[in-house]
Amino acid sequence: MATVTFRDETAVGKPIEEFTVPDLPESISARELVRLRVREEVARYNADPTARFTGLVRPVDAEVELNGYRIGDRRRIDWEKQTDAAERAFRRNGFMLLVGERQIEDLSETIDLTADPVVSFIKLVPLVGG
């Protein structure tokens, strides 16, 4: 079993948020890894809802804030909708996925978590006018 650190970073590599998940399989697809990350962050939020969600993708009806999203009514978030949104965002280059120093370009790619236990998510912001 592997312990993995999920880290959100800026485009220049500055860590923003991170959390660790133990007891993961030693090998996993990128798709399963993204879904697991999103399910974990939503479960943590739903266990103690606040007005701010700091997840990978924006929940429906949430407002964008610096490094997070404002959820006015502190409602529960549906992890399945969030994972679907995360997969769509990956396909549209909404974020980059790095395992160790290697960029993952396909959600079907298999990742060895024992070799690279740090998984970085870098949100990409579209440029104004382009």
Provide the pLDDT for residue 130. Answer: 46
Residue 74 within any structural domain of the chain: yes
Query: Structural domain tally of the chain?
Result: 1
Mean pLDDT (the chain, rounded):
89
Residue 129 within any structural domain of the chain: no
Residues 6+ apart with CB under 8 A from 69: 52, 53, 54, 55, 58, 59, 62, 63
Domain limits at 63?
A: 2-123
The span from the CA of 22 to the CA of 19, in Å, is 10
Residue 115 within any structural domain of the chain: yes
Provide the pLDDT for residue 126. Answer: 56
Residue 128 within any structural domain of the chain: no
Residue 42: in which H helix or E strand, if any?
helix 30-47
Residue 76 within any structural domain of the chain: yes
State the pLDDT confidence band at 16, using cuts at 50, 70 and 90: confident
Provide the pLDDT for residue 79. Answer: 95
Predicted confidence (pLDDT) per residue in 92-125, tens digit:
999 999 998 899 999 999 999 998 899 999 988 6
Q: Is 83 helix (H, G, I), strand (E, B) or coil?
A: helix
Predicted confidence (pLDDT) per residue in 71-91, tens digit:
878 789 999 999 999 999 999
Residue 10 within any structural domain of the chain: yes
Predicted confidence (pLDDT) per residue in 37-73, tens digit:
999 999 999 999 989 898 899 898 888 887 788 887 8
Residue 130 within any structural domain of the chain: no
Residue 30 has pLDDT above 90, yes or no: yes
